[in-house]
Structure 1
Amino acid sequence: MEVVPHGGGDGGGGDGSGNKMGTLLENFMRSQRSSLRSLFQRKKPGAVDDADSPRPLPFLSPVANSVVSRCSRILKVSTEELCHHFDEEIPESARQPSVNARNFVEFCSYKAMNVATKAPDYLGDKEFRRLTFDMMLAWESPDVASEVLAKEKNTGKEAEDGDGWSFFYTASTTMAVQVDNKKTAGIDAFARIAPACAAIADVITVKNLFYALTGSSCNQLHFLLYDKYLRSLDKVIKAVKSVSGPTFANLQLAEGEIILDIDGTVPLQPVLQHIGISAWPGRLTLTSYALYFESLGVGVYDKAVIYDLATDTKQVLKPELTGPLGARLFDRAVMYKSASVLEPVYMEFPELKGSSRRDYWLDICLEVLRAHRFARKNNFREIQRAEIIARAILGIFRYRAIREAFNIFPSNYKTILPYNLAESLPGGDVILETLASRLEFVKVDVPCHDDSGSPFTKQKKIPSPVSVLALYRLGFILLKEIKLDIDLVAVGDVCVAEINPLETALKNSILDTGRAEAAQASVDQVKVEGIDTNVAVMKELLFPVIALASRLQSLASWEDALKSIVFLGLVCYTIHRGWIQYVFPVILVSLALVMLWRRYFNRGKSLEAFRVTPPPNRNAVEQLLTLQDAISQVEALIQAANIVLLKIRALLFAVVPQATDRVALLLIIMAVVFAFMPPRYLILLAFVEVFTREMPLRKESSNRWLRRMREWWIRIPAAPVQLIKTDDKKNN
């Protein structure tokens, strides 16, 4: 700007110069504010471009051109230069006409988001939130053809009010949303854009986060939902940053340790610590390394007790029942047990109904524990361990934001905590293995400038610690000894026109989860109640086995002598020729052939329901009597087994010397027989002995021999048993 000085001919020259200088300074400050405000500013439809505005690109849709123009302002380059860098850095396969526009939108979005997130308070900037949402809209409609298809798809789906959308709440936990579909983003766009900012989403849990946000809006994300989530996330992060000072001096946090959440500060919602039969209220604090419990004294908190989550002390965290004086009444507690504590510790979270408060704390504590366990298992370096913990910290921040903004809790298989998700999904270990393989290449010194000074050099695909860097930009320092470059070009979990291996592993795990859930649903459908009914179902299922056993029993009882002789001859010939070893393989092959036959001829046919005739209905008293009778029978069987073991003990210790001599001689004879006789002849003799006991020629002698054996066994006394009562003084 050129300032032309005025002459001092008129009498008010001095005052006029001062006023003009003030005016110039005011105009300069206003122009600076306008330039900062226009960094994210969207171009209004129908506005006339000035000389400095980025030129629209003909192969992009209007919304994509709007996003690219704002990205060019952030990056301080023209749209033509962005196209030039896109052609240089992206391979030709990603620049085909069918995918060129979408990949170009990704390219501009990722680079602009990396620059925009360097601001310390970018989550609190509405223009940043609006830009990232428009990136999703541009990704869905990157060119004119896709925008036309989107308009045709959404024709006739207008909102009820004149503004195109409306929000109304039916309850504090249920929100019904009606939106204009032209202003909503889908799951694929959210999954490609949101993980570019590590604070907003994680590539492992991004789709579950989307479902949590859109559970009441038919899986369509409106800007107001997205904006509410980011504002809540910003509020959570600022709340965590504000937790410091003398109030928490008792904790004595280690360097780089971050407080993640605190509970028990409200008198009406205390946290009770149960050890044995004693309980005491206090304040519970979760950090990135441990749990701290401060007992409430007379107006002040006592010294904190530390429950370590970082070191390997065989920690166990699980939900548990608790209550006054050790009574197991309320399902509202978390049990902590490790080698460092003498007895389990129970943290109770009282609430009027439900256990959502306990479930939340169990989830975030397990996330920290599993993150450290994953880091120890793979023996990572310090920067890699910090990246693992940072990913868990950001996941907990997002979980808090969703909980506080929408009052919802994702289900077990739709958690937004990455390490909990990996533990919950079938094949989740593959996700962690894929993550570990990527973390092996994480480095801090990723080159961000080439020799010419251009910020758009071809990046080596070396992953950088994006989660650590995201926390650093938000004001959290995990590693003070490692210097992080604020201008580092983050190469994270999303790259232009590439599918992250984590996404592939997660997709396979989700497919397995769907099969597991479908199988579990079928299991739940066929469960029946009542002992008699379950026994009837089991008898029908085992009918072929029971029928075969009955047939063999009939042959062994020699009811039809001819059939029994034929069966005996066939089995003896099979054993003598050594074919007995092939019987079991033949049975397995036969079953396999039957299964393949059924698969081929029953293709596309549903399995018919298994029909069972239930027994007559019984009332509750009759069912209890049946259960008592079954328990008595089981008890009798256990008693008989104990008596057999005690008599064997008496024989081993020669309580009856004559019986012991006979048993010892019998064992020596059996040892000689097993040592010198081939196994097939032993099997043949055993089969003939058992099968011919009921034969008319042997029946009388067999019964006489069995009677002598029973009489001999009855005369063997049982070894004595002494029951010693435990000392209850310690428990009392």
Structure 2
Amino acid sequence: MDLKMENEKSKKKKKNGLLAFKSLFSFKSELGSDDDAATTPPYQPLPFLSPLANSVLSRCSKILQVQIEELQHQFDSDLLDDVKQPLVYARNFLEFCSFQALQVETIRPDYLSDKDFRRLMFDMMLAWEAPGVGNQETAASDEREVEDEDSWSLFYSDSTNMAVQVDDKKTVGADSFSRIAPACAIVADIITVHNLFDVLASSSGQRLHFLIYDKYLRSLEKVIKAVQNFSGPQMVSNLSLAEEEIILEVDGTVPTQPVLKHIGIAAWPGRLTLTNYALYFESGMGLYDKAVRYDLASDLKQIIKPELTGPLGARLFDKAVMYKSSSMVDPAYFEFPEFKGSSRRDYWLDICLEIFHAHNFARKYNLKEGQQSEALARAVLGIYRYRAVREAFKVSSSNYKTLLCFNLAESLPRGDAILETLSSRLILLNSAGNQCGLLGSPSATRQVVHPVSRVSLCRLGIISCKEVDIIGEATSLVGDVFVGEVNPLENAVKQSMKNIGRAEAAQATVDQVKVEGIDTNLAVMKELLFPLLGSINRLQLLASWKDPWKSMLFVVFVSYAIIRGWIKYALPALLVVLAVIMLWRRIIGKGRPLEPLKIIAPPPKNAVEQLLLLQEAISQLEALIQSGNIILLKVRALIFAVLPQATDRIGLLLVIMAFAFAFVPLKYLILLAFLESFTSNMPLRRISSERDLRRFREWWIRIPAAPVQLTKPDDKKTR
């Protein structure tokens, strides 16, 4: 009995210790503060909202300094009836209050460092998933204790996993994150918000924990502070930046992580700087020379791509970014040396392409100055988010998962539709200057578009604002979200995302059927072309007249078809037959997988045999190209009358052919060409045909080739 009581006491102490430790990772609610209780007037919770939604609503009311009844009155009177239907009333009212509270909170430049702001945004997401009274059980689960007490331990592999297991019930899904996060422009972009959620929730079963979200926002705050330090007078004066030009990223300042610039066979270290208009490279270490500017904004037919580089121009290391434009003689290669992988290079390639694509987007859709600045600000915010995720979670962007909106639009299927929708939204900026609209009101936001990205940069202290400040203070700003509605950009992204699965599935089948080796690939191609090769072999058999009766019937049938004019229906008939075969296979093979193509693999070859086979194939290709060049050179000699007698005959033949095409019906010319080529091997004509072919070869051999002179290129490489 005593032993049982001791065990119960031990469990109770352990449970209390768990709850105490759990409290370390939870912030106090506004209802639990004595100060709040003293300063906030009592309010009556709305009966149609869940406890968590009421808690969020009370905090929004305090931030806005507006009574909850007044907020509800604004919602009922100012918004459309579509967003006030009973089934969606609670969630839309929560969105309405949340968006307005976030607008007020983001006016402060240090809002990312405020842990209460970070907690409020996350609670908004939690409440969005459980807004109504019917979701009380779900909302209450956020306060449940960890039941498996015996499995709990202070010693986890890392602090994030430990905190996640302690606070494992407070998680949000992709839908709630994509609704609340884009309301704050620095936190998420409506185009890439789903990719951002996938990155943040990749290690937790596609449910986002507060500890991960909080870590992301704290990393974002560090990035903003680092960017603010870039604007020092020494760096700005050394680069000679324009008025609207801001520094986004700098690399090469640490001696152990240099950036090497290659031009020709020469290379030197230096500091690489990216702005929202150009790349700058300053050669040197510690003391830097005058910066060389590589433009990303002008239309100079720039090429930016990954490239191999190495010492003395050797192509050894896949760690460089190549920049080439029409204003340069030789391309510049920026190498990012590192011992393992090429994450530095990939990061710089992504952010450089983002700025490049943003300027291309502005030129393509003829955006004006203010519209172009908003597009660039959108790209800049995306780079900050990408950097924050990269530094906090050590991840890099992958195909279809990029956190940069313009890069994503370039890589997604139907990404041009996303850019068209974005351009149509930015065009509305012209009429947004002096108009005010209720935050999140569909009736207002359809006509009014504000430069939320530029205002966000201004409030964070990244750019100095003039007219942006006026717009930001005179209107209610929000990200690309409408209360109760889906943003057109989000619709365009979802439509594009539908094609990703099909593209990835198709690419997976392509990767599966790829085979190695020249001989193996030739065997596969031969098997795939078997129907065509079989038809060609049958035609050759008929043309050889080994079976005279079949050949004669074929000649008579084709000749009759040509005379009757049926030959023009040959291609349409072939296409119809193929279509009928495809439809028939679709009907009879419905639901059955396609049988794999069986190919007899050639004997395996080692690396040396593969190289010899490749060398033989290259030799055959070279011989084929040489024969083609000889034919062209002999034709050139005939045209320029190197051999006058042959030129006279060719000229006369060309005149006769011209008269024939002019005055003889085309079907008779086709019939003549068919009979000449197909009956040349019949027994009556074989001897004369062989004699005529021999005479033609002898005549062709006597024609000289036109002369060719090879000159060395003028090599003026920059050293």
TM-score by length of 2: 0.90
Does residue 63 (structure 1) correspond to residue 52 (structure 2)? The answer is yes
Task: Give the conservation status (yes or no) of the 8 Å contact 1:321–1:328.
Answer: yes
Give the drift of 1:167. Answer: 9.4
Q: Distance in 1 between matches of 2:440 and 2:199?
A: 37
Q: Distance in 1 between matches of 2:576 and 2:440?
A: 66
Does residue 557 (structure 1) correspond to residue 557 (structure 2)? The answer is no
Residue of structure 2 equivalent to 1:17: none
SS at match of 1:314: coil
Residue of structure 1 equivalent to 2:280: 292
Task: Give the conservation status (yes or no) of the 8 Å contact 1:333–1:347.
Answer: yes
Does residue 305 (structure 1) correspond to residue 292 (structure 2)? The answer is yes
- 1:351 aligned to 322, 335, 338, which one? 338
Q: Distance in 2 between matches of 1:692 and 1:643?
A: 30
- 1:610 aligned to 597, 601, 626, which one? 597
Task: Give the conservation status (yes or no) of the 8 Å contact 1:446–1:464.
Answer: no
Q: Distance in 1 between matches of 2:525 and 2:297?
A: 48
Q: Distance in 1 between matches of 2:665 and 2:155?
A: 85
Give the drift of 1:171. Answer: 11
Deviation sequence 1:493-537 (CA, Å, 0-9, x none): 100011111111111211222211111110010011112211111
Deviation sequence 1:595-640 (CA, Å, 0-9, x none): 1111122111111111111122223333333222222222222222
Does residue 702 (structure 1) correspond to residue 686 (structure 2)? The answer is no
Residue of structure 2 equivalent to 1:580: 567
Q: Distance in 2 between matches of 1:495 and 1:233?
A: 25
Task: Give the conservation status (yes or no) of the 8 Å contact 2:321–2:334.
Answer: yes
Q: Distance in 2 between matches of 1:616 and 1:533?
A: 9
- 1:365 aligned to 337, 352, 356, which one? 352
Q: Distance in 2 between matches of 1:48 and 1:728?
A: 78
Residue of structure 2 equivalent to 1:109: 98
Give the drift of 1:589. Answer: 0.8
Q: Distance in 1 between matches of 2:328 and 2:341?
A: 29
Q: Distance in 2 between matches of 1:285 and 1:167?
A: 42
- Written as runs of structure 1 = structure 2, the 5 A alignment for 1:227-246 is 227-246=214-233
Number of paired residues? 688
Tell me whether 47-56 or 573-582 shows the greater mean CA deviation: 47-56
Residue of structure 1 equivalent to 2:243: 255
Q: Check 1:641–1:492 CA distance in 2 against 1; reply closer, same or farther (3 A cut).
A: same
- In structure 1, what residue type is equivalent to 2:99? Y
Task: Give the conservation status (yes or no) of the 8 Å contact 2:562–2:667.
Answer: yes
Task: Give the conservation status (yes or no) of the 8 Å contact 2:186–2:381.
Answer: yes
Residue of structure 1 equivalent to 2:83: 94
Residue of structure 1 equivalent to 2:502: 515
Give the drift of 1:651. Answer: 1.6
Give the drift of 1:445. Answer: 2.7
Residue of structure 2 equivalent to 1:427: 414
Give the drift of 1:150. Answer: 7.2
Does residue 466 (structure 1) correspond to residue 455 (structure 2)? The answer is no
Residue of structure 2 equivalent to 1:6: none
Task: Give the conservation status (yes or no) of the 8 Å contact 1:159–1:178.
Answer: no
Q: Check 1:559–1:223 CA distance in 2 against 1; reply closer, same or farther (3 A cut).
A: same
Q: Distance in 1 between matches of 2:648 and 2:224?
A: 82
Q: Distance in 2 between matches of 1:207 and 1:165?
A: 33
Q: Which has the larger radius of gyration?
A: 1
Residue of structure 2 equivalent to 1:390: 377
- Written as runs of structure 1 = structure 2, the 5 A alignment for 1:193-592 is 193-248=180-235, 249-296=237-284, 299-442=286-429, 443-448=431-436, 459-461=444-446, 462-477=448-463, 479-480=465-466, 483-487=469-473, 488-592=475-579
- Written as runs of structure 1 = structure 2, the 5 A alignment for 1:2-21 is none
Give the drift of 1:730. Answer: 5.8
Q: Distance in 2 between matches of 1:605 and 1:59?
A: 52
Task: Give the conservation status (yes or no) of the 8 Å contact 1:136–1:193.
Answer: yes
Task: Give the conservation status (yes or no) of the 8 Å contact 1:290–1:309.
Answer: yes
Does residue 690 (structure 1) correspond to residue 673 (structure 2)? The answer is no
Identity of aligned residues (%): 61
Q: Distance in 1 between matches of 2:621 and 2:683?
A: 36
Q: Check 1:143–1:46 CA distance in 2 against 1; reply closer, same or farther (3 A cut).
A: farther
Residue of structure 1 equivalent to 2:8: none
Does residue 678 (structure 1) correspond to residue 674 (structure 2)? The answer is no
SS at match of 1:412: coil
Q: Check 1:709–1:478 CA distance in 2 against 1; reply closer, same or farther (3 A cut).
A: farther
Q: Distance in 2 between matches of 1:342 and 1:587?
A: 52
- 2:133 aligned to 136, 140, 144, which one? 144
Give the drift of 1:456. Answer: 9.2
SS at match of 2:124: helix
Task: Give the conservation status (yes or no) of the 8 Å contact 1:59–1:101.
Answer: yes
- 2:634 aligned to 643, 647, 659, which one? 647
Q: Distance in 2 between matches of 1:276 and 1:347?
A: 12
TM-score by length of 1: 0.88
SS at match of 1:413: coil
Q: Check 1:169–1:419 CA distance in 2 against 1; reply closer, same or farther (3 A cut).
A: farther
Deviation sequence 1:648-680 (CA, Å, 0-9, x none): 222222222222111111111111111100000
Q: Check 1:639–1:87 CA distance in 2 against 1; reply closer, same or farther (3 A cut).
A: same
- In structure 1, what residue type is equivalent to 2:182? P
Task: Give the conservation status (yes or no) of the 8 Å contact 1:228–1:405.
Answer: yes
- In structure 2, what residue type is equivalent to 1:685? L
Give the drift of 1:459. Answer: 3.4
Q: Check 1:354–1:233 CA distance in 2 against 1; reply closer, same or farther (3 A cut).
A: same
Q: Check 1:349–1:45 CA distance in 2 against 1; reply closer, same or farther (3 A cut).
A: same
Q: Distance in 1 between matches of 2:153 and 2:282?
A: 48
Task: Give the conservation status (yes or no) of the 8 Å contact 1:151–1:182.
Answer: no
Q: Distance in 2 between matches of 1:354 and 1:312?
A: 33
Give the drift of 1:486. Answer: 4.0
Residue of structure 2 equivalent to 1:75: 64
Q: Check 1:281–1:622 CA distance in 2 against 1; reply closer, same or farther (3 A cut).
A: closer
Residue of structure 1 equivalent to 2:3: none
Q: Distance in 1 between matches of 2:608 and 2:59?
A: 76
- 1:131 aligned to 120, 125, 129, which one? 120
Residue of structure 2 equivalent to 1:84: 73
Task: Give the conservation status (yes or no) of the 8 Å contact 1:41–1:127.
Answer: no
Q: Distance in 1 between matches of 2:139 and 2:700?
A: 87
Deviation sequence 1:353-410 (CA, Å, 0-9, x none): 1110111111111111111221122222222111111111111111111111111112
Task: Give the conservation status (yes or no) of the 8 Å contact 1:178–1:217.
Answer: no
Task: Give the conservation status (yes or no) of the 8 Å contact 1:181–1:220.
Answer: no
Give the drift of 1:304. Answer: 1.7
Residue of structure 2 equivalent to 1:30: none
Unaligned runs of 5+ in 1: 1-38
CA RMSD, Structure 1 to Structure 2 (Å): 2.9
Task: Give the conservation status (yes or no) of the 8 Å contact 1:292–1:307.
Answer: yes
Q: Distance in 2 between matches of 1:688 and 1:157?
A: 92
Deviation sequence 1:457-489 (CA, Å, 0-9, x none): 973531111111111111133553555344320
SS at match of 2:444: coil
Task: Give the conservation status (yes or no) of the 8 Å contact 1:137–1:189.
Answer: yes
